[in-house]
Amino acid sequence: MSSNTKKRSALGKGLGALLENSDTDITSSSSGSPGIVGSIATLPISSIEANPFNPRSNFEKEALQELSTSIKIHGIIQPLTVRKLGRDKYQLISGERRFRAAQLAKLTEVPAYIRIANDQTMLEMALVENIQREDLNPIEVALSYQRLIEECSLTQDQLSQKISKSRSSITNHLRLLKLPAPIQAGVKENKITMGHARALVSAGDEETQVALYERVVNEKLSVRDIEAVLRGEEIREPVKKSSGEKPKNSKIAISESEYTFKEHLGDRLSTKVEIRKSPDGKGKIVLNFNSDADLNRIMELLNKK
C-alpha cells in the first residue's frame, strides 16, 4: 500500500488514527519506530498560527474565558495538533479553542503533536475532525460539507461514508446554504432552528423567504406554522378551555436539542424520525419504516448493545 493510500484511509477515522500513522508524523524516524510516533513537543505559542481551514467562526466568550481559567490552573491536558510550515513555524490542525484560551491565559508555550500534511490533506483533516467532534451550528456544518465536496473532490456518497452521516442529512444541511444571508445568520445566532430553516427553503423566492423568516422570529411561529402558511392556511391561536387548560390535541415545536437528537437518531437508524410533543409535556417518538424487512433492520440496530 502506498503512503498516499495510507494517509487517505486514516482520514476517515479522524485525527486519532492519523496520530498513530508514522507516514504523517514529522517526529518519526525512517524506520517508523512506534516509540516516536505521536510524540509531544512543547512549542512557543508565538510560533503557531491559526488554521485558515477551520469552519468554526464563533467562539462563545464566556466559555472561552472559563477554559482559559482552567488552563491557568491545570495547564493544557489535551495537546494541540499542528503541522510544520518551516523553520520554527507551525499551523494548527485541531485544538483552536484550546489555542485561543491559552493565548487568553497568556501562556508562552503549549504542548503539541507535530504532523506533516499538505494543504488539501490538512483541509480534510480539519473539516472531518470539526464535523465529528466540535459543536458547530448547522450553517458551519453545511459549509464544512460544501468545502469537503468541492475542495477535496468528494461526492455526497463518499462524504456520507467518511463522516458516518446519512446522505439525506448531508443534503438537508447543504440546502441551508441556498437561503438568504439574513436567514443563515438567524440559524447561526439560534434565532431559528434548523427545522425552521429547512421549511423556509421551500418558501419561494428570496423576498418571500425573508418576509416569512421575520414573521417566524417576531411571532415565534413553529415549523408547523410555517408549513401551514406555505399551504395557504390561516394560522389560528389554539382555543383554550375556560379553566385555562390548553387543548389536549395541540402540538408544540420541538427545541433545537430535540431536533438535533431526532436527526442523530435518524442518521443512526437510516430512517425518518419524528418527535411529537404536546404542551403538557407528553408525546411520542415515531420511527418510520417501509417494509417488514426495514422494520427488522431497525429492530436489529436498536437491539445492538
Q: Which of 49, 62, 96, 245 is catalytic?
A: 96
The answer to whether residues 117 and 87 touch, using CB atoms and an 8 Å cutoff, is: no
DSSP codes of every residue in the chain:
--HHHHHHHHHTT-HHHHHT-GGGBTT--TT--TTTTT-EEEEEGGGEE--TT-------HHHHHHHHHHHHHH--SSPEEEEEEETTEEEEEE-HHHHHHHHHTT-SEEEEEEE---HHHHHHHHHHHHHHHS---HHHHHHHHHHHHHHTT--HHHHHHHHT--HHHHHHHHHHTTS-HHHHHHHHTTSS-HHHHHHHHTS-SHHHHHHHHHHHHHHT--HHHHHHHHTTPPP-PPPPPTTSPPPTT--BPPPHHHHHHHHHHHHHHTS-EEEEE-TTS-EEEEE--SSHHHHHHHHHHHH--
Cβ-proximal residues to 93 (8 Å cutoff; 6+ apart), any chain: 15, 51, 81, 82, 83, 115, 117, 122, 125, 126, 129
The yes-or-no answer on residue 96 being catalytic is: yes
Cβ-proximal residues to 192 (8 Å cutoff; 6+ apart), any chain: 183, 186, 200, 213, 216, 217
Q: Hey, which residues are catalytic here? A: 96
